[in-house]
Structure 1
Amino acid sequence: SGKCLRTLEGHTAPVTAAAFSPAAPHVVSSSGDGTIRLWDIRSGKSLRVFSGHSGPVTCVCFSPDGRSLVSGGRDGSLRTWDIRSGTLESLVRFPVPIRTVVAARRGTRVAVSLAGDRKDTGRLALLDDAFRERYRIPYRVCTPLTASEADLLEQDFRGKLAEAERCATAGDYRRAFELIDTARAVPGFEYADDALALRRILAARFPNGKLRDIREFRSFTGHEGPVQALAVFSSGDRALSAGRDNTLRLWDLKTGRCIHTLEGHEAPLTCAAVDEEGTVAVSGSTDRTLRVWHPGKGACVKTLRGYSDYITATAVTPDGGHALCACRDGSFRLLGLPDGASLRELKGHASHVTAVAVSPDGMYAVSGAMDRTLRLWDLASGRCLQVLEGHGDYVTAVAVSPDGMYAVSGDNGGTVRRWGLRTGDLLRTFTGHTGPVVSVDIGPDGMTAVSGGRDRTLRVWDLKTGQCRHAVEGHADEITAAVYGPDGQFLLSAGMDETVRMWHMDWEPRIREFVRWDEAARPHLERFLIRHTPRSGEDVVREGRPEWNDGDFEALCRELSHRGCGWIEPDGVKERLEQMARQWQGPPPAEKRYAVKQPEKAWYDNRLLLFPVKHWKYAAAAVAVLLLYLIVSSLFHGTGGPGVPDGFRDAKFRMSLIEFPDMAPLEQQPRDRHMKACHRPGDELSFQGVPLSAIHYLFYDGRLMEIRIYPADPGGLNRLWKYYRRRFGRGRQFVDEQTGKITRFWQWRKSGFKRGIRLAVEFDPEEERGGSIFYTSAPRPLSTGFPGRRMRR
């Protein structure tokens, strides 16, 4: 309409800048009078004035979370202010006036435009960690280049990159890598797409050596809530993310564009998985459904219902023919795709499964659960082959190596473990995370693993030495998922900050001479033969002779280059593959691949215990201590009356801690062994000037447990409530949905009084006087309307 909604007045000089708050209906403005003002849009009032600049303030902006302000002025000072307190948090001075300041939408960086002098047209400063407490800002100042200087730099880059391509064509790979690194050293071209693409093609031919650096390459935004799961296609150009905004999103990794948004779930998603070709995707949600998708079309193929609780983990076999689904109700099933028929249930875990991964050949799976164990399953028979014990907390993530011979798992305690599936032994433990590990993945070459934790870090581990090769931070909140790209040249991570981030991994290749054959490629050829052996109906069992075409063989060669075997000549691979196919007798039995390892059975049912008991003596000692405690408690505290909570026997009370000036002394009150309500009708009762209708004293075993006062009318209750609020603060509130009672309460801890004293104001809609106020020293309240164990939880 073009109408003026409100005029904000208060500045005594021209206004130079204004910005809206991202978190509240507020506006901030800067002025030539040297002040910054925070305004309430709805009322038009000035909420706070920030002063400190020695000259006109030229620019101002909010932090991404709306809790801080950044202002710049002609005095060359950049100041960070706390909005709530109005205090100055930090100060950085520049030698020239500040023109503009802009805060990044995510993260803690601030860009500052500086005024120039006669010889310089201006500068741009980038400040890191601008919104952290007690920061020291390291800033980088950049001067603009002329067009001719920029052209010369680009020509230098293009020339070196063209020479690198010629060396690669001639087979001089060592020289080609040197030229690529030299081209990337040109200012402004360190992460040029052309250089990274050429280097990725050449690096796929050789094993990875030293990891030089990990740098954020691209960020994907679009989810309106935390991203919970990630899956990458084998082509390396697409990825699927699942978020708590009830949607899945298909991303183009080359452009960062969202191709499809898959909608259908009615609650936040918990997990997602895709097959290697990206033709089948499966997602689980807290709406207790499992959905099968066609990612390319963005359509839901099947919705599987009937689960009694939400889905906790899912995985898809590489060929997309089957899926594993774990539910919080404890069920763990093998499903046929795309119809979702349940083929068999995998039973063995003492608690629900939290993570699952399928072997590269699709014949086996490894699952982790809340019972702190991992289990290796034969999907053809549904039999548990191994039980892997060693985690000190429940398992949160698991991954299987490309050759299927070992697994990596993470737990809630912050540790990562490597397991040998051939023997079922724990090979190595990796420590370094300062919080729970939520995601793990193994690199395509099987030499490294990545883990993401709630400490907001990604860590790349050397699986042989156990050392952390690199740790990187970048997410503004906890990390929820981390996966390798199919070629091992990049990582994808997701977090609670609603973003998906792509990280470039700068590997130093180990250049080797080309050979016709190497035994390191044999496990991958066996996997290829298993996958191309026909299936027996809808089951995972495979029988017959393997069959493949030229396209399948090209995919195998491409996969070998990702596995670190790209230096083996394709002719030698084809010759050995045909030789293995002539001798092929079907997939080897599970007993020949993995040692069957089951835990020793004890005389007790270990699943009924919350902690593992290693010997019967420990259990007997625990029972003896419990019996001794019960005997001593009965001797010193008595048996108590009927209906009295056991916790009251341990309660102590001191009358001096309660300020009731109009109450009679404790000695004048009657005492009884059981709880009673004693009041004095006819007396003039008052408290803080509010007339009372009754005072109830509740005793147990001669000890005063509770004092409850009843105002004469609801108005008196409100006055007392306001009195307590002014004196003690807001307190806590609990609403009983069944009775409609509203309880506000406070609690103190004092010397000689273990459990503390609770003061509560209870608003009862069924009480004529509006409710009551009571002091209690009981560990659990005597009143049913007072919040007990539910409130503490």
Structure 2
Amino acid sequence: MSEESQKLLLKTSFKSVKTIESIYTGGKVIITEDAKYLITTLNEDIIVTELDTGKQVHELEGDTEIVTTMGVKPDGKHLVSASRSLFLRIWDLTTGESIRTFKAHEAPIIVMDIDASSTLVATGSADASIKVWDIDKGFCTHNLKGHGGVISAIKFHKYNGKWYIASGADDCQVRIWDLQTRSCIAVLQSHVSVVRGLDFSADGKFLISGSRDKVVNVWDWQAKELRATYPIFETLETVGFLEKNVKLAGKFGKNWQDADIFYTGGDSGLIKLWDLKSGKLIKAQEPEKNSKHTISDIVYIQKTETLAAITNDQNILMYSLEQKLERTKQIVGYNDEVVDIAYLGDNDTHLAAATNSAQLRVYNVETQDCDLLYGHDDMIISLDRSKDGTLVVTASKDKTARLWKIDLDNSDHQERFKGAGVCIGHTESVGAVALSQKSISFMITGSQDRTIKYWNLRDLDMDDADEEYRPKSLYTHQAHEKDINTICVAPNDKFFATGSQDKTAKLWNVDSGELVGTMKGHKRGVWCAQFSPVDQVLATSSGDKTVKIWSLKDFTCLKTFEGHTNSVLRVDFLTAGMQLVSAGSDGLVKVWTIKTNECASTLDNHTQKVWALAVRKDEKYIVSAGADSVVNFWQDVTLQEQEDELKEKEELLIKEQELQNFMRKKDYLNAILLALSLEQPFRLLGLFRQVFEARPEGDDSITGSGNVDKILAELSLENLEKLLGYIRDWNTNAKHSDIAQTALHAILASHTSEELVEIPTAKELIDGLLPYTDRHYQRIDDLITQSFIIDYTLSAQK
């Protein structure tokens, strides 16, 4: 079937084939030493994801309490997690199963560290104590007390063959513990705020401590001396050393090869690298434009020489040391509400999403990698794309609309997504935006200030996109009496439509901005409007739970679609304008056939409002997203299902022909098995009657054929269950009860009670036969005995 005719096939079946979901809601993040897995906390659960592919490997179900911290053995075999329930759990990372749970402290565990040999885990608690545990055997080896507050940092250290632990707390102290003597050998005091990070230098002689007092202290921990205090000028959340690397030194200069370099992260939201000897700043990452995030932790991935910054807005931003702290990848942990989406690229390979944040998120549909586009300084509410997917426009609460040039084939991240201009002029949030359809010549915006603006984009240079470009507004009109929720441009670029909370949709002339007509009829606000790709009609969806189609000639309502149980937030045309797809606050996506007014399919995989819809160009996929932070990809399987149905019918015809052939040849074994697989009880009854009535003289078989007796004796449990069900039904009719009870006699004679009790519904089937057996059945005692034995066996099993 050609793609065009496939497109015109009315769509009736969809299946959810993929989802983009939240994997991180704050807290500890781990990347395993082999850089294979990303481990994050999602509320009370733990998600294990393949770092390269984004594929979820395990969802480790929590104990209904928030996970406070976790750690992974360096060998990658086990994960240790702690939650507010005060329990410590050991997980097998291969199977994803919990293998041990035990209570660890009298208050929640705040920090933990696992030693290099993958044997011990040290836990620091809010009860001011530190405990060391043997992970595999599950017992406590050390209980270290001395701090006067919540333990906030902890680090194992092996030096000259001995094991030590460094700990920091909100009593502002750093303590060193000798695990051999189980005693505190040093109390290092200098900080005036909670200690948030600890690490030892490569030679093991120096300890650095980072605190919220905005300084890093360098300690000679054996001499118990403070060697240096470096002001970092930001509240610190993490510090750590980088390994000395000759390869990196070649890129950054010799000072990298000789220096001990440590990193810091905190409320500036920037990763910074410092020289231990001089305390000088060697390198800081370039700030993300208009970003307001802070860094809560940094994960150093030694294998790939990458620093992963964990931000307070639940993103994981990867910066390459080899590329001088350039951002190379970002993983979005939590999407919040997804309020708008659009496909991008020539082949719709990417998906742009507006998600209650100031950054535009662009997902690779295949790998689920995500790029964050910084520019707005308040939440993005709406977005639209050009016909070719190379230009995206975003409308925001910051009263502006921004243009983005998209070049997905470019390997340079800076060039792939580039700011191409800002539209400034509205006095309130810009809540709706639409680009011209035929070319990139204009765009229309609608705002909470109730005005619409036409922006001239004819002088936009797509080859040399410039963020400083400021499109001119050629006209501004007061359009509605309440907020404007939606704008769409007609396929011919001559008209555009708006929908508002004032319950109306309006049609406007693009060139002059004059009002052409008003569509009145909805009883609540209009959330979305879309032009048909082929007819002169407009579809609107509303808070009154309906979708309406309007004539653009006389602005009358032609059709109303009712079926959603709450506000209908989005609508779009499908199948060359013959169908509609809608999404609502009831969490449902519905596909409608316009000609018949019928709902052809209901897609249900959301738990909250569905705010956004996008249809791929070839219409093979519909994407829905909403308040549950989930993006669902729905595949059109109508053609596939029709082909499967046709194939099933053909196979059924062939099997029925085979059944007739077997009966003609008196091949009872294959005939009985085929009749059971075809689920044709009437054929089976006829077959048993045929055998019974054709009994040869002197035959002492039960059914009339020794072969059939043997077949019944060797039936599988599944087929036996099916046949007993048929026998029960036949037995209720006096015409068939003789055959039914003959078949039952053969089954009871060849199967023990122990065998019958293995059938899941044995009790119901035998009990169902009892009321009808006194009519013809000469061995009713056997059946009652079987029923009693089954009762007894089942109760014994319980």
For the criterion TM > 0.5, the same-fold answer is no
Higher strand proportion (structure 1 or 2): 2
Tell me the TM-score normalised to structure 2 length.
0.38
Tell me the TM-score normalised to structure 1 length.
0.38
